[in-house]
Structure formats: C-alpha cells, structure tokens
Amino acid sequence: MKRKGMILAAVCLVSAGLTGCQGLSMTQGDKYWTAAKREDSLEDYLEEKKDALDWEALRQEAGNSELTLSQRFKATAFLCALEYQSLLEADAEGKSSYAERSGNEDDVMFQMDYPDSAAYARAYLETVNTNEEEFWESLEDAFYPYDYLSTVVAAADELDGQTLANLFKGLPESDRMGDELEKALENWVEAHAGRMPEHLEALTEAEFYGDWKIDEWKNAYFNNGMDPYLIETATADEALQYIGCVRDDLLPRLESEFGEEFKEQSELVEEEYYSTGLAVTVTEELSLQEASEEGLPETVELAGKKVAAFYRNPSQGEFPYAPTSLRLLGDFMLGLPEEEYPETLAEADYYLVLTAAYEYGGMYQDTMGNDTKIQEVFSSTSVDLYEAGTGRFLRHLGNLLEEAPSTIYTRWDDDAPRFPEETAADVLSYLYHNVNEPDKFAYLLDNASGKSELARDESITLGNFEVTYRSCQIQKEFDQGMFRYTADDGCQFVLGEFTVKNIGAQADSFMPMIYNTQEDVMVWITDSSTEETYECFSSVGVSGCVNGSTLEPGESKDGRLIFQLPDEVLQSTDSLYVVVSLGRQSVSYRLQE
C-alpha cells in the first residue's frame, strides 16, 4: 500500500523557448525534450533523430549537479531511452538473449544491463534522499511525454533500500506519473530479487508490501515457475546470504501470517520439508575436480560438518527457460539444521552437487495423440559429494530421474520446453544424511543407466522393488489346485519364475491391476525387434503369482508371472526377452539361455 506524498506545485513550466527554471538558459536536453513532445512518443522521436542528437552534451548534462533536477532528468531519460532501444535491437538480431528470459516486455526492460546510463539514472533517483522537494517537482515538470520514466528506473541497477523506500513513500495518489513510477518500482524490486536482504527492512517500513498475498511473495522471492533467472547473485556467498535472510527473517514472518504454505509432508520420513522451488542463480563458477575412484574415503564424516547444495546445468542456453548454469538449492538449504548451514562458502565442508544431463526423445504428443512441434526432453541428475575448498571428488551417490508428469510442458502458448522439476529437498536430504548407507536410498535412484541386458539371477532395482528373473517353463497347460488352465489354440504359456523384494520405505504393490507406467514396475516379454509385446496375466484366482502382491518394506517373495505367446513366436526362444521397466528405466533378460 503506497503512502501519500505531498507534491508541491511546479514553479516552472517548459515551453517552446524557455525553461523558466531559475532563469537558466535552455540545455540541449530541454531543446530535445520540447521537440520530442511534438511527436507521438519519445521512442518515435529517437528513431528519427537519434543520429543527429549531441549525446556527449546529454551525458555532461545528466551528470552536472549545477543544473536543475528537471534538466538532469531529461538528459538522463534520453540516455536511458537510447540504450534501451539499442539493447532491444541487439536482442532482435540475436546478439543478446534477454527476450529468451521472459516474454513480458516490462520484465525484459528490467532484466537488461545498462552500462552507459546506469550511473546517471542512479544518481538522479538518489536525489530523492537529499533534495526531496525538487526531485518530485522535477518529475512533475519533465514527466510528459511519459515514455521512459520506467526505463530510468530500470537502468538504475544498484538502488539501495532507503532510496527505494523514499521513492515509494513519496508517490502521489491518483496521478498517472505516480502509477507508472509505482509499477516501475515493483518491476525493479522483482528484477533484483537477489538483493532482497538489502531492501527488505526499508521496504517493509515503507509499507511497500502492503497487503501482498501469498502468491505475490512466492512469485517475487521464491519461484514463479517461469524465469530461471528470477533470483540471481554474483557469488555463492551472496546466495547463502539470501537464503539465510529467507530462513531467519522472511519465512518466520510469512509462516506467521499464512501458516504452513511453504512445506509438504515427506513420504520418506515423518517430517515436513520446504517445497518452494527456491534456487538462487550464481554467476560465478564452482571449481570441482574430475571424478576418480582412487583414494576415496570409506566413510564420509557428517557430524559437525556444513554443506552447500548446488544444481549444475552444463547444457544451459541450449533451450530458453532451461535451468541456469549454477544454482544454490534453497529448499535443501532451508531444511538444514543450524549447525550444518554455512554462512559463507568458506565455512562449507562439503558441496553436494546435482548435475543435469538431458536426452532428447521424439516429438511431444498432445492429448489427442497428435505430434506437436515440441521436442521431448528427458532429464537425469547425477548426485555427487565433493570436498569444499579443494573441490575433491568424494562420492557418487547415484543418478536420479527428475519427475515430469508429461515429460515437458510449454510456456503458455509457445513451443519452448520447460524442464522437469528438480529433485525434492526431502529426497536430497535423505541421500546426503544417509551417504554412508547407500542401501537405504537405492530405491530412489536410476539403477538401469548403462545397463541393457542382464544375466539370469542378476537383480535390478527399479523404484521400490528389487526384481530378479530366475527361469521359465513353456507348456500348453498347468494345474492350480483343483483347476487346470489351458492356453488358447495356437498358443502356449510361459511360466516365468521371479523374486521380488520391497526395498522402499513403505508398503507397496508389485504390478497392481490398476497401474501407472511412470510409477509402477512392469514386466513383459518381447522379441528382438520389440515390435510385439506380451503382457502377463492377472493373478486373480491364481496363487503363487507375484503380480498384485503387496509387500512390506524388506519383504521378498518368490513366485510366477504367467504369459501367453503364439506357437510361432516360441519357435525362436533365443530371440525373446523378458523386459523389466519403470518409466524410462528398462532392462532385459534372455527368456532362455
């Protein structure tokens, strides 16, 4: 909620031949501004006249403290406008990538860097702290033709909290200039979310946040689901400071007001975990050594150690809206106990590093089964532990398949892929805190990577289940109690013997009657061409089958899966395979060796 500021009547009016201000002669900025007012917009004026304007004179005027603030504003506005147009042109020519970061024009404006005009814009806006009356008079005097007040704010990249607060507190009510400046301030704050620790207290006292709803807080300071650059800092230390401020200052306030809006109940442990999507982009690089299996410690000491968790994307830039090259994982860090949270990177003992790898599938299909122009993108994440400081590789915890209900989504109505959500904080915390007991989290990993064909009696872990194919019998009929089952004409049964074990943390059903191919383990038989597949029978009414069995954690069961195949297919059993799969994870056994 903005507070009403007093705007004094302007003591001078700009006209075609006079400034009327303090008896000073017209500056170049005054002359250009007067001419620009005859055009439809300042943008149109610059398009036509920019090559003829004396830009060096405007730079001198923008930085001349002897001129009125109205004159300095005009010169500054021209400089910011020119640079903004130049940046847009470079973007359109593919020389920069601001447009890829957001489809919203206001967002793009505030994401840009203004190396030529930033200092002038910042110096002008900071005069609100020392010369408040003349500052607001200058805006009233020079505001029309309106076009680039927002650009002046956007160009000022390093405003402090007090300047932002004073600009906000002085906003006039029911005034077009005030509305535009208020919107510009909101855009600036969101575009510089990474500097929230510097601004939070001053903006709170100025009532900038007013009656913000929970979604406004989430979109501004946590994750808006669209812009991977939403929260960006130059260094990892600044990222740690940001998350520390969220933990110590912002979250307690928000949880007091909105309750448990930021947490979810974990299915791994009897605890809640933060699930906000908070990940702070860090522009500096993380120095890590190459992984090596030599000289690795047998155990990793966790007691009294501090850890920082990062997400790396070596393919950053390949697609719009892809995760950035390096981010500090906020939800994991927020869940750390006090003794494990490093205030600076120098305090960290370990780096827990998630590294993304992408593989590309076919064309994405819409709900009608029609191909779209969108490329499928599958994402897998390697989770590794390094020694902080030296970057020495300590342990590969495993690979995780990132969850993606439909593989990818699009950004509203365009065809840019949005990548799957990263590993949930409770999963990552569980892996880290059980680093010395990998059997505890084996069911969370992608255990099929690098494997295609297994030998009989070799086990594979997929999701909650460890599955082992033992052998099979091929016969026309079999007895089950008082009943005899006979295969259809021209077919025979394949009675596959399996062992399944629940290695997960909760009871689960193996191959239930109603299943989800992304969440449940499936077993079938196929030929070497994989053109024909044969699913197993339902276990209803047939004892000794493992499909449909509900197993407790740690419980195992030996039993059958029953298939029916045509006689002509069974003539070449050496080309038949038993396939065990979970989502995109898949391995095979030769039906008979």
Q: Give the residue range(s) of CATH 2.60.40.1240 domains in the chain.
A: 453-590
Q: What are phi and psi of 387, to 5 degrees?
A: -80, 125
According to DSSP, the β-strands at 556-566 and 417-418 are unpaired
Which residues are within 8 A (CB) of 66 and not within 5 positions of it... i.e. 6 or more apart? none
On whether the CB atoms of residues 187 and 110 are closer than 8 A, the answer is: yes
CA–CA separation, 395 and 356 (whole Å): 17
Per-residue confidence (pLDDT) for residue 8, from 0 to 100: 35
Question: What token pair was written down for 382?
Answer: 């390697």
CA–CA separation, 456 and 292 (whole Å): 31
> Which amino acid would we find at residue 581?
S
Per-residue confidence (pLDDT) for residue 184, from 0 to 100: 93
CA–CA separation, 477 and 487 (whole Å): 6
**CATH number 3.30.70.240 given to 453-590:** no
* Distance from the Cα of residue 78 to its chain's centroid: 36
10-residue mean pLDDT profile of the chain (593 residues): values are: 38 37 73 87 85 95 95 94 89 56 65 94 97 92 73 94 96 82 93 94 96 93 77 95 97 93 90 93 93 90 97 76 86 96 97 85 62 67 95 94 50 52 89 95 87 92 95 92 90 96 92 86 87 84 88 95 94 92 90 88
For 263-413, where are the E strands, in sequence order?
263-265, 272-274, 279-282, 307-312, 326-329, 350-365, 371-387, 393-401, 409-410
Using a 10 angstrom Cβ sphere, with 0-12 exposed, 13-18 middle and 19 or more buried, the burial of residue 280 is buried
Per-residue confidence (pLDDT) for residue 23, from 0 to 100: 41
Model pTM?
Answer: 0.82
Q: What are phi and psi of 502, to 5 degrees?
A: -85, 110
Q: Is 193 left (phi over 0), alpha (psi -120 to 50) or beta?
A: alpha
Q: Give just the sign of the alpha carbon dihedral 234, 237, 239, 241.
A: negative
